[in-house]
Structure 1
Amino acid sequence: MDIPPTTQSLSNAASLAFKEIGRFKWLVIIGFLLSAGVSILIAVNQPNIYTAKMIVVPSKSKDSGGLSKLAGQFGGLASMAGISLGSSGDQTAAAIEFMKSRNFLHNFIEKRELLPYLLALEGWDRVTRKPIFNIEIYDSNTKTWTRTPAPGKNQIPTPWEGYDALVPKITLANSDKKGIVEIKVSSLSPDLSQNIANWLIEDINLFWKEQDKIQADQAISYLEKKANETTVAELRTMFYELIAEQTRTKLVSAASDDYLFKALAPAFYPEEKSGPSRALICIAITMLGGLMSLILAFILALKTRGQK
């Protein structure tokens, strides 16, 4: 098959241009060397990232078996009385979603005083094992904010800003088949990563325990009122059984620290960095710079050839 003249001309021009690239090899070499130098500078100045991992399982104490039995025994009567005995179901997925919410994390940031670590941390001293803060944002000696706030922001930041910085550091993975939840926290400080992972489970357990206690108190008051109002013996029996179940919930919440989640092991202290990969950074930037230099040399070769 004959090659069209236009295609043949382009093919010949490209072939000649590749031959002409040799005249611009200095450009390609300099491009590779500059890219390699820049990549090394960028890679060296990247701070280490430390990731703490933790595996938790739903606590056995958070069991709705008693309520399920009552639902089977008194379901019909409860419906007549306008009371639902539906099972609370698996709360693991709901708890994981709540742990990502602003409601929970705003309170978490304030309680654990994390704002300086989220907004001003720029490194970690391996020798002294102390965080390094950006003095232009936060003075750790006087514990005062020195930053120049962006338009519409105050000098002292709010948990709203901290939330945006914290969420990318946390990874929550729920495995329904295995019945476990994996928590990963990454930051510039291994201490901070470990602490946040442990604190998250501690605080979600405390929150869920307090919420269930409040709901149990409200349910008991309501059920006692209903029991006093009714004259039907079966309904009174049901109400007192429900009161006993809610009282059990209160006792469990008071006795257990691992109310919703139980850690198979506390988060380990990450002694080695999880990132960044400095070798990969150097290779990627060097190859990109070299490719751009090669393309530029090819264009110059084509242009030079066209002028002849």
Structure 2
Amino acid sequence: MSEETKQDDEISLLDLFAVLWHRKTMIIIISLVAIICIVVFSIFSLVLDPEISPLPNVYTPRALMLINNASSSGGGLSAAIGASGLGSLASLAGVNVGGGQTYSDLAQYLVGTNTLLDSVVDKFDFIKRYKIKISPRASSRKALKKNLTASYDKDSGVFTIGFTDYDPVFAQQVVNYCVDYLGNWFKDLGLDKNVMQKANLEQNIQNTFNEIRRLEEESHRLEQSVSMAYGSGGGVSIMLETQRIALELSAQQEVYKQLKVQLEMINVSIASESPIFQVLEKAEVPDQKSKPSRGMLCIIVTFGAFFFSVFLAFVLNAVENIKKDPEAMAKLRAKKENVRIYRED
């Protein structure tokens, strides 16, 4: 690099520093005003009631669920979605019901459905809480979706639901309601076959047990009738009926044994396999805000004001240089005159 080039670079850096030094008062004032304003704003937003504060403290409780995607293969999920009537809607939402779909995809889709959103809105009276007057149903859904989050971690298989609000207790209640609603929805869809089979077996066992009790009571009554009708012609028919009931009772008892064996096998299967939807941790009332970070906001605003003042200093310096340059001013006047003549024409 030649001496002349080095000298030009040094002169340029000196010129830049000279511009900043000449405008140092403006730069300092703008930066100080920005610092004072953002600090006052931060304190003001903290002191005010959260409902009217422009920047209130908000809290985000989260609930953790374990979703077993390994059970979503084999077409069971597709059949369940199709049977529930969610197939076309899920396709529009990006859940491929034809193949490659997972239970975590379904869970994320269900969190954003109008059915769940409307249930939460009605349960916690979002329309009144957020003072919604225009398009209350659509606006309340948007207000809920804005603060309701759902995410899935593929590495751990953990599905997370969170809700942000200035009231930590309210936010916790919303999250846990969504968790319960989602868990019941998975049960209603019949995705966990073992759980469904267990419920059916328990119902069949109860029905069989009730039938056995009925037959035992009927058999007891007939035995009494036999002793009372002994010696008459009707005693033979009663004895035959007693034998028939005894055979039916024996059959029901055998069915009851088989059902109990099947129930034990299902219980072993459930114990050895992970359920499709399992709540790991429900949301707790947070005692620490999730945002905003007022300290970071003050730093960002301060640096922004400083760089803006530096940029403004160079702009003002450029304007002054143009005003001092006769040739530049003559060109500006000529352009201004041409524009005036053009407008008059």
Q: Please confirm whether the aligned pair reaches a TM-score higher than 0.5, indicating the same fold.
A: yes
For 2:123, the equivalent position in structure 1 comes to: 111
The one-letter code sitting in structure 2 at the alignment partner of 1:49 is: V
For 2:168, the equivalent position in structure 1 comes to: 190
Give ranges in structure 1 of 5+ residues lacking alignment. 69-85, 121-137, 139-144, 221-243, 253-258
For 2:61, the equivalent position in structure 1 comes to: 52
The answer on whether the counterparts of 1:18 and 1:298 sit within 8 Å (CA) in structure 2 is no
Deviates more, 1:279-288 or 1:297-306: 297-306
For 2:105, the equivalent position in structure 1 comes to: 93
The one-letter code sitting in structure 2 at the alignment partner of 1:283 is: I
Could you tell me which of 175, 178, 191 is aligned with 2:156? 178
Deviations 1:17-68 (A, max 9, x none): 5314323211011101111122223333220010102111248xxx799x98
How many residue pairs end up in the alignment? 215
**Based on CA coordinates, which of the two structures has the bigger radius of gyration?**
2
TM-score, scaled relative to structure 1: 0.57
Deviations 1:212-267 (A, max 9, x none): 49xx9xxx9xxxxxxxxxxxxxxxxxxxxxxx9xxx9xxx9xxxxxx963322221
For 1:30, the equivalent position in structure 2 comes to: 29
Computed over aligned residues only, the root mean square deviation of the Cα atoms, in angstroms, reads: 4.2
Give the Cα separation in 1 of the matches to 2:150 and 2:283: 14
State yes or no: 1:261 paired with 2:288: no
How far is 1:182 from its partner?
1.8
For 1:39, the equivalent position in structure 2 comes to: 38
The one-letter code sitting in structure 2 at the alignment partner of 1:275 is: K
The one-letter code sitting in structure 1 at the alignment partner of 2:298 is: C
For 1:205, the equivalent position in structure 2 comes to: 183
Cα separation, partners in 2 of 1:270 and 1:4, compared to 1, 3 Å: same
Deviations 1:118-168 (A, max 9, x none): xx2xxxxxxxxxxxxxxxxx4xxxxxx7xxx5xxx35xx22x111111112
% same residue: 20
**SS at 1:48 equivalent:** coil
**SS at 1:51 equivalent:** coil
Give the Cα separation in 2 of the matches to 1:283 and 1:56: 37
Give the Cα separation in 2 of the matches to 1:161 and 1:3: 69
How far is 1:271 from its partner?
0.8
Relative to total residues, which structure has the larger helix share, 1 or 2?
2
State yes or no: 1:278 paired with 2:294: yes
Give the Cα separation in 2 of the matches to 1:57 and 1:282: 39
User: 5 Å matches for 1:128-143?
Assistant: 138=131
Give the Cα separation in 2 of the matches to 1:17 and 1:301: 10
Cα separation, partners in 2 of 1:300 and 1:58, compared to 1, 3 Å: closer
The one-letter code sitting in structure 1 at the alignment partner of 2:117 is: L
State yes or no: 1:290 paired with 2:306: yes
The one-letter code sitting in structure 1 at the alignment partner of 2:38 is: S
Give ranges in structure 2 of 5+ residues lacking alignment. 46-54, 77-97, 201-258, 268-274, 326-345
Give the Cα separation in 2 of the matches to 1:300 and 1:42: 29
Give the Cα separation in 2 of the matches to 1:302 and 1:180: 58
How far is 1:293 from its partner?
1.0
How far is 1:298 from its partner?
2.5
